[in-house]
Structure 1
Amino acid sequence: MVGTLHVHDLILLRTESAVISTEGVSAYPYLNLNQRPWVVVRRGRILDGLIPVGVRGTQRHERCAGFTRLSEAIESRRPDQLRLRLAEDSRRALQAFRTLSYLESHLAGLDMSWGPGGSVGYELAAGIPAVRADSDLDFILFAPRRLDITEARDLWRMIGGAPGKVDVLVETPCCGFSLEEFVTASPRRILLRTSEGRILGSDPWNPSNDEDS
């Protein structure tokens, strides 16, 4: 049984027809009929029992936003459950996977959970080739506690030593934000990704602090 789902989780659906696109039509054409239908939970509000999800097809242009019901999910994977050991041996030489290997060894002592998103996370969860030779690594860091700027900069500096480009998205209990923007713009306002939309703020752990400023 699948429990509570969060943004960036990957879920396996019962059928390809379990997703309704935001236009109110089936997302069926974007799902490979020869593969199990995995989708990713996207940021947004759950309305009328519908979970916001994103569909990834075999081509870059085959993406769409949609919704599905929790009852349609039969399996789920969190980003922090996805590691290089799940990749096929023949795929591990790709730069994005080599970057993931680097981070696994350098972040072994980190006291916050993390995992890959994007094409790397999708391939590791679904077992469907999605990573390309030029793919970056989308890195999701879950930060329930506040990161001070020195700690954030040290983390960003270490990640910068990876063999490939890494896009780091930090997820707090309130929102998501770019680590790169945080360390280069602080203490100025940065873009915060909330379930209600994108806003500018200076405190990702308490965006309400910015409401009256």
Structure 2
Amino acid sequence: MTVAAHTGVHRPSEELHGGPRRLVGPLAALAGRLPGVHDLLLVQCPGSLRPLGGGGLPAWARQVLRAHPWVTVGRAPVVAGPPVDTPYPVRCTRDASAAPGAWLPVTVRGPERGQRLDALAPRAAVARTLRPEQLPGRIGLLAPERLAAVPALAVLTQAGQLVADHRLAWGPIGAVGYELGSGEPVAGPLSPLRLVLRAPQPVSRRDALQLRRALSRLRVPVQAELETRHGAVLLAEYAAAPPAVTLLTPDGPREVHDPWFPRGLYA
């Protein structure tokens, strides 16, 4: 499988809980119709987001969402039906075909360290979705000064070439992915380069070790995760060949022997 760098771009200036919930299931299990973990969502009516802790959005989150209403899909199940503290129906609809009452787990990223808010966003309010695989093609939208100031951005193409040698689809996540998708300069000089590597089929420990070693030679720390059909495992952990690895799933972490054929109790 070759790496596809999607070049279709658009300027990023575009524009509870506590009650019983019915879990619809992991995002990846819903026939591909819903966005998946690490996807970036452009939402209209950002005030329709509902924090997981209940109550309203904090002031910093409202300010961020007014300026650039991009959120990141989290690794959690989709929720059916409105949160119990929603006083009125969500009338903000971009996708008329969206499943009614489907709420996506998302994270709002703030400008300060530690400013992260887990929330639910109504599926019908999603105006645009960007997958991590689409983001490398947006590197040309950034000013040259950003590439010079942020090493993690500067080595993105080189890292992609190393991953391509192992025939894995990939994309940046974390601060680098958010900046490429939203256009907001959130990555800093010390930001690591976080990557998701699509691995629906098993990857050998030998290949994982070779890739980890190649990525470790870059001039910035690289944190890569292998995304299987059941969840994600850190590339470095899998390459070290321990008896068991931690598989990150929508329902929490699990200690498993094989992330492609997981068995074992939740950690």
TM superposition score normalised by structure 1: 0.91
1:165 alignment partner in structure 2: 221
- Deviation at residue 104 of structure 1 after TM alignment: 2.7
In the other structure, the counterpart of 2:44 is 14
3-state SS of paired residue (2:78): coil
Give the 3-state SS of the residue equivalent to 1:169 in structure 2: strand
Deviation at 1:87, TM superposition (A): 2.6
**8 Å Cα contact 1:136/1:166 also seen in 2:** yes
Equivalent residue for 1:197?
252
Q: CA deviation at 1:161?
A: 1.4
The one-letter code of the counterpart of 1:8 is H
Verify the 8 A CA contact 2:106 2:119 in the aligned structure 1: yes
Question: Equivalent residue of 2:127, what SS?
Answer: strand
1:67-106 alignment to 2 at 5 Å?
67-83=120-136, 84-93=139-148, 94-106=150-162
Letter in 1 for 2:75: R
Equivalent position SS for 1:97: helix
Q: Please report how far the alpha carbon of residue 63 of structure 1 lies from its aligned counterpart in structure 2 after TM superposition.
A: 0.8
Deviation at 1:79, TM superposition (A): 0.5
TM-score, length-normalised on structure 2? 0.73
State the shift of 1:187 in Å: 4.4
Moved more, 19-28 or 88-97: 19-28
Instruction: After TM superposition, give the deviation of residue 35 of structure 1 in Å.
Output: 1.9
Q: Decide which of 31, 35, 39 is 2:71's aligned counterpart.
A: 39
Q: Does 1:154 align with 2:210?
A: yes
The answer (yes or no) to whether the contact 1:27–1:55 under 8 Å persists in 2 is: no
Q: What residue in structure 1 maps to residue 232 of structure 2?
A: 176
Maintained 8 Å contact 1:13/1:75 = yes
Structure 2 counterpart of 1:77, one-letter code = L
Judging changes above 3 Å, is the alpha-carbon distance between structure 1 residues 21 and 95 closer, same or farther for their aligned structure 2 residues? same
- The gaps in structure 2 that reach 5 residues or longer are 1-31, 81-101
- Mean alpha-carbon deviation: is it higher for 40-49 or for 16-25? 16-25
Letter of the aligned partner of 2:151 in structure 1?
Answer: Q
- How many Å separate the matches in 2 of 1:38 and 1:8? 12
From the superposition, tell whether residues 158 and 172 of structure 1 become closer, same or farther in structure 2 (CA, over 3 Å): same
Aligned length: 208
Distance 1:34 1:6 in 2: 24
Q: Greater CA deviation, 16-25 or 158-167?
A: 16-25
**1:107 corresponds to which residue?**
163
Counterpart-to-counterpart distance in 1, 2:208 and 2:164 = 16
Deviations 1:6-51 (A, max 9, x none): 0000000002213111112233521425522100000011111211
User: Which residue of 105, 108, 111 maps to 1:55?
Assistant: 108
Distance 2:217 2:140 in 1: 22
Q: Distance in 2 between matches of 1:27 and 1:115?
A: 30
Q: 2:4 aligns to what?
A: none
Q: Is the 8 A contact 1:16 1:28 kept in 2?
A: no
Identity of aligned residues (%): 29
- Confirm or deny that 1:25 pairs with 2:55: yes
Higher deviation after alignment, 76-85 or 23-32 = 23-32
Structure 1 CA distance for aligned equivalents of residues 113 and 45 of structure 2: 22
Deviation at 1:132, TM superposition (A): 0.7
Q: Which residue of 1 aligns with 2:178?
A: 122
1:132 matched to which residue of 2?
188
**Structure 1 residue identity aligned to 2:232:** G
CA separation of 1:33 and 1:183: change in aligned 2, threshold 3 A: closer
- Assess if the C-alpha contact under 8 Å between 1:57 and 1:63 holds in 2: yes
